[in-house]
Amino acid sequence: MGLTLLVVVGVTSTAKNFPAAYSFAKSEAGIVFDFIFDSLKHWVFGNDIAEPRVILGDQAPGLIASIPRSMPNSKLQYCNWHMAQNLKKRLAEKRYTKEERKAIMDKCWLYIQSETEADLVENREVLMNAMNIGEQDFMRKHWLPKEEAFVTLYTSKDPNLSCNSNQRAESTHPVTITLLNHQLSLAEATRRLVKGIKLLLEDLAELESESYGPSLAILDLRPFKSVIDQVTKYALQKVAGDWEICKQAVSAGTANLLALEECRCELPLRYSLPCKHHLLYACEAGLPIPRSLFHPRWWLNGPPISKTFLPWKPYYGVPRESHVPQQSNDISSLGHQIMEVREGFTGLAKARFEEQLVKTNRALLGFAE
């Protein structure tokens, strides 16, 4: 057909991609992106659904032109992989040797991944000094003014679910490539895509349903029992580590120090999830962790994410259950370790580990009877 397929994906509460929009386009001009965003506004966001706070894209000029007019409230973040490719290509064109290119690209990645202002100043200087004047000018013109959109120091504070590259969208390529080819008519290509999308959505629903039911987290995370079946397992696992920190602080008598810290945690900033600074109160008071600490995007069967949720902060509502004293630290830490080990496995090894886990727990239950 000679058309480009533009793909917009979002991230589910189980940290998987979901297809948000596909658009066959004749070019990647600004109006093409305007059309996609206008369609999303018309069909998805309407008047009350929250628009994305971060849009992660490559440096397509059409996208860059469209965002300020179509999605003025969303921050455009640049895919760091595409940023690096942009410099790599230029170095090849300017005839740097292979060794020089390798050394410069290593410095480029250090620069992109700078976490503090001091690191950024230093890494930027080291990178600039490794290149000729022409590339230094190029960087000053095209990269330095955009640092907030791709350097880790800044992107690690944005609500982007820790996404730094748009490999998410690109990982859908293999699917679309098997479904589509150049000989198809637009109607047939669309029919095939719709079929593929339906299957994908079924898989995603299946995945979300795995967050229900007896959770392995029950084993160790007793304080989490009020949010199990309420919030996805993925979200619970994300905060489990910070809960451990709280417990350790409480048992070491350093909870007051933790309470005094300024919160700059990635969990609330990037995920809208509670961090140790939010969890500490529940931990000290021996309260079950309330669902209201989790942004509704993480709730199972949650509400549409309306604009009223913005800006959002974790909060303690009325506790839904009475006082639950904190259980033995040993038992819950052990449970946490087990969960971590389990996450380290994949495929068959994971299945075997889980099988063993179920057996052991059944034996324990048998012992209780």
Q: Could you identify the residue written with the tokens 């809208």? A: 272
9 vs 273, beta carbon nearer Zn ion: 273
Piece of the chain touching Zn ion by CB under 5 A; list 75-83, 135-143, 232-240, 275-283: 275-283
31 vs 245, beta carbon nearer Zn ion: 245
- Number of chain positions touching Zn ion (CB under 5 A): 4
Figure out which of the listed residues 263, 310, 334, 358 binds Zn ion, where binding follows CB under 5 A. Answer: 263
Piece of the chain touching Zn ion by CB under 5 A; list 23-31, 195-203, 256-264, 318-326: 256-264
Q: Does 238 bind Zn ion (CB under 5 A)?
A: no
Q: Does 275 bind Zn ion (CB under 5 A)?
A: yes
Q: Does 103 bind Zn ion (CB under 5 A)?
A: no
Report the site for Zn ion in 118-177 (rule: CB under 5 A).
Answer: none
Minimum CB separation of residue 125 from Zn ion in Å reads 31
* DSSP-assigned letters across all residues of 40-108: HIIIIITTTBPPPSEEEE---HHHHHHHHHH-TTSEEEE-HHHHHHHHHHHHHHTT--HHHHHHHHHHH
168 vs 270, beta carbon nearer Zn ion: 270
Piece of the chain touching Zn ion by CB under 5 A; list 63-71, 202-210, 230-238, 269-277: 269-277
Piece of the chain touching Zn ion by CB under 5 A; list 159-167, 200-208, 268-276, 319-327: 268-276
Q: Does 265 bind Zn ion (CB under 5 A)?
A: yes
362: which 2 tokens? Answer: 């059944």
Q: Does 259 bind Zn ion (CB under 5 A)?
A: no
40 vs 258, beta carbon nearer Zn ion: 258
The CA distances from residue 188 to 173, 178, 192, in Å, are 18, 14, 6
85 vs 248, beta carbon nearer Zn ion: 248
Paired sense of beta strands 75-78 and 54-57, if any? parallel
265 vs 285, beta carbon nearer Zn ion: 265
Minimum CB separation of residue 162 from Zn ion in Å reads 15
Reduced DSSP (H G I as helix, E B as strand, rest coil) percent helix, strand, coil of the chain, to 5: 60, 10, 30
170: which 2 tokens? Answer: 């690109």
The CA distances from residue 111 to 115, 125, 288, in Å, are 9, 9, 42
Piece of the chain touching Zn ion by CB under 5 A; list 150-158, 193-201, 261-269, 284-292: 261-269
Minimum CB separation of residue 41 from Zn ion in Å reads 33
Q: What sections of 151-304 are H helices per DSSP?
A: 152-155, 167-170, 173-179, 186-209, 216-220, 233-252, 255-260, 266, 276-285
107 vs 276, beta carbon nearer Zn ion: 276
Is residue 293 a contact partner of residue 271, using CB atoms and an 8 Å limit? no
Minimum CB separation of residue 265 from Zn ion in Å reads 3
96 vs 243, beta carbon nearer Zn ion: 243
107 vs 277, beta carbon nearer Zn ion: 277
Distance of CA 209 to the CA centre of its chain: 20
The closest alpha carbon to 153, from 241, 245, 77, 74, belongs to: 77
The closest alpha carbon to 154, from 269, 277, 276, belongs to: 269
- Reduce the DSSP state of residue 25 to 3 states and report it: strand
Figure out which of the listed residues 168, 277, 297, 336 binds Zn ion, where binding follows CB under 5 A. Answer: 277
Piece of the chain touching Zn ion by CB under 5 A; list 9-17, 89-97, 264-272, 305-313: 264-272
Is residue 78 a contact partner of residue 59, using CB atoms and an 8 Å limit? yes
Looking at residue 264, the DSSP 8-state letter turns out to be -
Using CB under 5 A as the criterion, which residues of the chain lie in contact with Zn ion when the complex forms?
A: 263, 265, 275, 277
